Amino acid sequence: MRPSAPQHPSLGILVLIATLLATLGSNLSAQSSALPKVSPELEKVRAALDKYKDPILAVHDGYFSSVGCVEYPKGGHEGTMQYAPGGMGVHFLNLQLIGPTLDPAKPQVLIYEPDGDKLRLVAAEWFVPVQAAGGTRPVIFGKELEGPMEGHHPLMPEGLHHYDLHVWLWRTNPAGVFAPTNATIKCPKQGYSFAEQAPKLVDAQAH
Protein backbone atom coordinates (compact mmCIF):
# COMPACT_ATOMS: atom_id res chain seq x y z
CA MET A 1 0.00 0.00 0.00
CA ARG A 2 1.27 3.41 -0.97
CA PRO A 3 1.59 5.93 1.87
CA SER A 4 -1.15 8.51 1.67
CA ALA A 5 -0.24 11.88 0.23
CA PRO A 6 0.02 14.74 2.76
CA GLN A 7 -3.15 16.75 3.04
CA HIS A 8 -3.01 20.37 1.88
CA PRO A 9 -5.49 23.13 2.62
CA SER A 10 -8.05 23.50 -0.11
CA LEU A 11 -8.01 26.52 -2.39
CA GLY A 12 -11.19 27.77 -0.74
CA ILE A 13 -9.56 27.88 2.71
CA LEU A 14 -6.54 29.76 1.33
CA VAL A 15 -8.81 32.32 -0.30
CA LEU A 16 -10.72 32.74 2.97
CA ILE A 17 -7.51 33.31 4.94
CA ALA A 18 -6.30 35.87 2.39
CA THR A 19 -9.64 37.68 2.54
CA LEU A 20 -9.55 37.84 6.35
CA LEU A 21 -6.00 39.21 6.33
CA ALA A 22 -6.94 41.84 3.76
CA THR A 23 -9.99 42.87 5.80
CA LEU A 24 -7.89 43.16 8.97
CA GLY A 25 -5.36 45.30 7.16
CA SER A 26 -8.02 47.60 5.75
CA ASN A 27 -9.62 47.97 9.20
CA LEU A 28 -6.30 48.95 10.74
CA SER A 29 -5.72 51.41 7.91
CA ALA A 30 -9.18 52.90 8.43
CA GLN A 31 -8.54 53.30 12.16
CA SER A 32 -5.28 55.09 11.42
CA SER A 33 -6.84 57.37 8.80
CA ALA A 34 -9.64 58.21 11.24
CA LEU A 35 -7.20 60.41 13.15
CA PRO A 36 -7.47 64.07 12.12
CA LYS A 37 -4.72 65.42 9.90
CA VAL A 38 -2.59 67.85 11.87
CA SER A 39 0.73 69.65 11.50
CA PRO A 40 4.02 67.80 12.16
CA GLU A 41 4.29 69.72 15.45
CA LEU A 42 0.87 68.52 16.57
CA GLU A 43 1.65 64.97 15.41
CA LYS A 44 4.53 64.94 17.90
CA VAL A 45 2.25 66.27 20.63
CA ARG A 46 -0.35 63.61 19.86
CA ALA A 47 2.25 60.85 19.96
CA ALA A 48 3.50 62.07 23.35
CA LEU A 49 -0.03 62.17 24.78
CA ASP A 50 -1.30 58.91 23.25
CA LYS A 51 -0.62 57.15 26.55
CA TYR A 52 -3.57 59.03 28.04
CA LYS A 53 -5.99 57.05 25.91
CA ASP A 54 -6.05 55.11 29.18
CA PRO A 55 -7.86 57.50 31.56
CA ILE A 56 -6.52 55.59 34.57
CA LEU A 57 -2.99 56.56 33.58
CA ALA A 58 -4.20 60.16 33.25
CA VAL A 59 -5.49 60.04 36.84
CA HIS A 60 -2.21 58.48 37.96
CA ASP A 61 -0.35 61.44 36.44
CA GLY A 62 -2.51 64.04 38.18
CA TYR A 63 -5.44 64.60 35.79
CA PHE A 64 -8.71 64.43 37.72
CA SER A 65 -12.15 64.20 36.18
CA SER A 66 -14.69 67.02 36.43
CA VAL A 67 -17.29 64.18 36.08
CA GLY A 68 -19.77 66.06 33.87
CA CYS A 69 -20.00 65.75 30.10
CA VAL A 70 -20.36 69.24 28.59
CA GLU A 71 -22.08 70.31 25.39
CA TYR A 72 -23.36 73.57 23.95
CA PRO A 73 -26.43 72.73 21.84
CA LYS A 74 -27.25 76.42 21.20
CA GLY A 75 -23.68 77.61 20.67
CA GLY A 76 -22.74 81.18 21.60
CA HIS A 77 -24.32 84.60 21.10
CA GLU A 78 -23.39 88.26 21.47
CA GLY A 79 -21.39 88.92 24.62
CA THR A 80 -20.37 85.27 25.04
CA MET A 81 -17.80 83.00 23.49
CA GLN A 82 -18.86 82.43 19.88
CA TYR A 83 -19.12 78.66 20.15
CA ALA A 84 -20.63 76.71 17.28
CA PRO A 85 -23.29 74.25 18.50
CA GLY A 86 -21.53 71.09 19.61
CA GLY A 87 -19.97 69.19 22.47
CA MET A 88 -16.74 69.23 24.42
CA GLY A 89 -16.91 66.09 26.54
CA VAL A 90 -15.57 65.21 29.99
CA HIS A 91 -12.65 67.35 31.19
CA PHE A 92 -9.75 65.94 33.25
CA LEU A 93 -7.87 68.84 34.88
CA ASN A 94 -4.30 68.78 36.20
CA LEU A 95 -3.97 71.56 38.77
CA GLN A 96 -0.21 71.05 39.07
CA LEU A 97 0.26 72.25 35.48
CA ILE A 98 -1.64 75.54 35.84
CA GLY A 99 0.55 78.62 35.57
CA PRO A 100 1.75 81.34 33.20
CA THR A 101 3.97 79.06 31.09
CA LEU A 102 2.56 76.65 28.50
CA ASP A 103 4.27 73.41 27.50
CA PRO A 104 3.13 71.57 24.33
CA ALA A 105 3.71 68.23 26.06
CA LYS A 106 1.77 69.17 29.20
CA PRO A 107 -1.80 70.33 28.54
CA GLN A 108 -3.68 71.41 31.63
CA VAL A 109 -6.77 69.49 30.49
CA LEU A 110 -7.48 66.20 28.72
CA ILE A 111 -10.91 65.75 27.16
CA TYR A 112 -12.75 62.45 26.80
CA GLU A 113 -16.00 61.43 25.13
CA PRO A 114 -18.20 58.90 26.98
CA ASP A 115 -18.71 55.78 24.87
CA GLY A 116 -20.85 53.27 26.73
CA ASP A 117 -18.82 52.29 29.80
CA LYS A 118 -15.58 53.68 28.34
CA LEU A 119 -13.98 57.09 27.87
CA ARG A 120 -12.38 57.92 24.52
CA LEU A 121 -9.60 60.52 24.43
CA VAL A 122 -10.59 63.15 21.85
CA ALA A 123 -8.79 66.41 22.64
CA ALA A 124 -6.36 68.30 24.83
CA GLU A 125 -6.76 71.82 26.20
CA TRP A 126 -4.24 74.44 27.25
CA PHE A 127 -5.72 76.58 30.03
CA VAL A 128 -4.43 79.72 31.79
CA PRO A 129 -6.31 81.74 34.45
CA VAL A 130 -6.34 85.47 33.68
CA GLN A 131 -4.51 86.27 36.92
CA ALA A 132 -1.73 83.83 36.04
CA ALA A 133 -1.37 85.28 32.54
CA GLY A 134 -0.20 88.61 33.98
CA GLY A 135 -1.88 90.85 31.44
CA THR A 136 -0.51 88.98 28.40
CA ARG A 137 -2.66 86.76 26.21
CA PRO A 138 -1.04 83.29 26.18
CA VAL A 139 0.07 81.74 22.89
CA ILE A 140 0.84 78.15 21.93
CA PHE A 141 1.25 76.40 18.54
CA GLY A 142 1.26 79.88 17.01
CA LYS A 143 -2.32 80.40 18.22
CA GLU A 144 -3.58 82.85 20.82
CA LEU A 145 -5.69 81.24 23.51
CA GLU A 146 -9.36 82.21 23.33
CA GLY A 147 -11.06 84.43 25.89
CA PRO A 148 -10.78 85.74 28.43
CA MET A 149 -14.04 84.22 29.61
CA GLU A 150 -15.93 83.29 32.75
CA GLY A 151 -15.67 79.82 34.24
CA HIS A 152 -17.86 77.16 32.66
CA HIS A 153 -20.89 76.93 34.95
CA PRO A 154 -21.84 74.64 36.70
CA LEU A 155 -18.57 72.69 36.69
CA MET A 156 -16.36 75.74 37.31
CA PRO A 157 -16.85 78.88 39.40
CA GLU A 158 -17.99 81.68 37.09
CA GLY A 159 -15.33 83.87 38.73
CA LEU A 160 -12.53 81.66 37.38
CA HIS A 161 -11.78 83.95 34.43
CA HIS A 162 -9.43 82.27 32.01
CA TYR A 163 -8.05 81.74 28.52
CA ASP A 164 -8.14 78.33 26.84
CA LEU A 165 -7.38 76.57 23.57
CA HIS A 166 -8.87 73.23 22.56
CA VAL A 167 -6.90 71.02 20.18
CA TRP A 168 -8.77 68.06 18.67
CA LEU A 169 -5.89 65.64 18.25
CA TRP A 170 -7.82 62.36 18.23
CA ARG A 171 -11.20 63.34 16.77
CA THR A 172 -11.83 65.11 13.50
CA ASN A 173 -13.66 68.39 14.09
CA PRO A 174 -15.69 69.76 11.16
CA ALA A 175 -15.11 73.28 12.55
CA GLY A 176 -11.33 72.87 12.66
CA VAL A 177 -8.66 71.39 14.92
CA PHE A 178 -8.60 74.48 17.20
CA ALA A 179 -12.37 75.04 17.45
CA PRO A 180 -13.66 74.95 21.05
CA THR A 181 -16.70 72.75 20.32
CA ASN A 182 -17.11 69.70 18.11
CA ALA A 183 -20.44 68.76 16.53
CA THR A 184 -19.48 65.06 16.54
CA ILE A 185 -19.14 64.91 20.33
CA LYS A 186 -22.26 63.57 22.02
CA CYS A 187 -22.99 63.43 25.74
CA PRO A 188 -25.20 60.68 27.22
CA LYS A 189 -28.85 61.56 27.72
CA GLN A 190 -28.63 60.41 31.32
CA GLY A 191 -26.18 60.80 34.18
CA TYR A 192 -23.88 63.80 34.60
CA SER A 193 -24.40 65.58 31.29
CA PHE A 194 -24.78 69.35 31.06
CA ALA A 195 -26.20 71.39 28.18
CA GLU A 196 -24.46 74.63 29.10
CA GLN A 197 -24.68 78.26 27.98
CA ALA A 198 -21.54 79.65 26.35
CA PRO A 199 -19.44 81.53 28.96
CA LYS A 200 -19.51 85.32 28.95
CA LEU A 201 -16.51 87.25 27.71
CA VAL A 202 -14.69 89.31 30.36
CA ASP A 203 -12.26 92.20 30.42
CA ALA A 204 -8.71 91.03 31.12
CA GLN A 205 -7.74 94.56 32.23
CA ALA A 206 -10.16 94.29 35.17
CA HIS A 207 -7.78 91.86 36.90
Whether 72 and 113 map to the same domain: the answer is yes
Whether 52 and 26 map to the same domain: the answer is no
Q: Does residue 149 belong to any structural domain of this protein?
A: yes
Digits of tens for pLDDT over the chain (207 positions)? Answer: 555 555 555 666 655 555 555 544 444 334 334 899 999 999 999 999 999 999 999 999 999 999 999 999 999 887 899 999 999 999 999 999 999 999 999 999 999 999 999 999 999 999 999 999 998 999 999 999 999 999 998 999 999 999 999 999 999 999 999 999 999 999 998 888 877 778 887 887 765
State pTM to two decimals: 0.80
Nearest to 52 by CA among 106, 96, 133, 128: 106
What total number of domains does the chain contain? 2
Q: How far is CA 5 from CA 8, 14, 23, 37, 132, in A?
A: 9, 19, 33, 55, 80
What residues make up the domain containing 24?
Answer: 9-36
